[in-house]
Amino acid sequence: MLGEKHSWLSTPLHRLGLPLALVLVALGTGWAQEGSEPVLLEGECLVVCEPGRAAAGGPGGAALGEAPPGRVAFAAVRSHHHEPAGETSNNGTTGAIYFDQVLVNEGGGFDRTSGSFVAPVRGVYSFRFHVVKVYNRQTVQVSLMLNTWPVISAFANDPDVTREAATSSVLLPLDPGDRVSLRLRRGNLLGGWKYSSFSGFLIFPL
């Protein structure tokens, strides 16, 4: 008989509130079956982690019992055809590009009022934009900004194409509070709002 002291060994793991991937063999309480009588064995505490998860919260994931890092993703589009007054520039000066229809905002990082994404956690992020000019013979230049610095730019400058997109993507390491937005550096987007989008997501935390 195991006795009351070790009766928990015969209790199913789920009744003990332990995850199936966690195996605990306490010192002096391990046991093995030999014939018909259980034999108590000395042992050590052993933790078996789930695949892809680090026991100490290292790069492989969160420690057992801790919540995994939050998911962060956003996607926004412009729902109107025409440029609202004052939102972008028609004379070559810098203007913010706003997106009024938010499709996804997991983690709450996208601010519709400013058209900017604010990083909630430190990590490596992926961003993509697709900005269309329609029936516009002017060159359009769009820059993706990290805080106040332009990181990448894209152009749409074919005068013979009625619909042309300035599109690009980039991976960026961000700290909490870093702000990513789009700026119209040249030209205007009259007529092209409805076809423009801005999206991004957290690839992995740092």
> Residue 106 maps to which CATH number?
2.60.120.40
* Distance, C-alpha 8 to centroid of its chain: 42
Last residue of a domain, one of 18, 46, 68: 68
Q: Kindly tell me if the per-residue pLDDT of 72 is higher than 90.
A: yes
Q: Are residues 156 and 110 in the same domain?
A: yes
The pLDDT value recorded for residue 37 is: 58
Q: Are residues 102 and 199 in the same domain?
A: yes
Q: For residue 42, give its domain range.
A: 1-68
Q: Are residues 198 and 101 in the same domain?
A: yes
165-182: burial string, b at 16+ Cβ within 10 Å, e else: bbebeeebebeeebbbbb
Of 190 and 29, the one with more pLDDT? 190
Of 195 and 200, the one with more pLDDT? 200
pLDDT tens digit sequence for 95-134: 888 888 999 999 999 999 889 999 999 999 999 999 887 7
Q: Are residues 110 and 22 in the same domain?
A: no
The pLDDT value recorded for residue 180 is: 98
Q: Are residues 62 and 44 in the same domain?
A: yes
The pLDDT value recorded for residue 30 is: 44
The pLDDT value recorded for residue 131 is: 86
The pLDDT value recorded for residue 44 is: 53
Query: What would you measure as the largest C-alpha separation in the chain, in angstroms?
Result: 91
CA distance 143 to 96: 10
* Whole-Å CA distances, 39 to 2, 25, 43, 172: 9, 14, 12, 58
Q: What is the average pLDDT across 68-75?
A: 84
Q: Kindly tell me if the per-residue pLDDT of 187 is higher than 70.
A: yes
Task: Report DSSP letters for 88-121, one per residue.
Answer: S-SSS--EEPP--EEEEEETS-EETTTTEEE-SS
Number of domains in the chain: 2
Q: Are residues 29 and 84 in the same domain?
A: no
The pLDDT value recorded for residue 39 is: 52
pLDDT tens digit sequence for 27-66: 444 444 445 555 555 555 544 444 444 444 444 454 444 4
Q: Kindly tell me if the per-residue pLDDT of 5 is higher than 90.
A: no
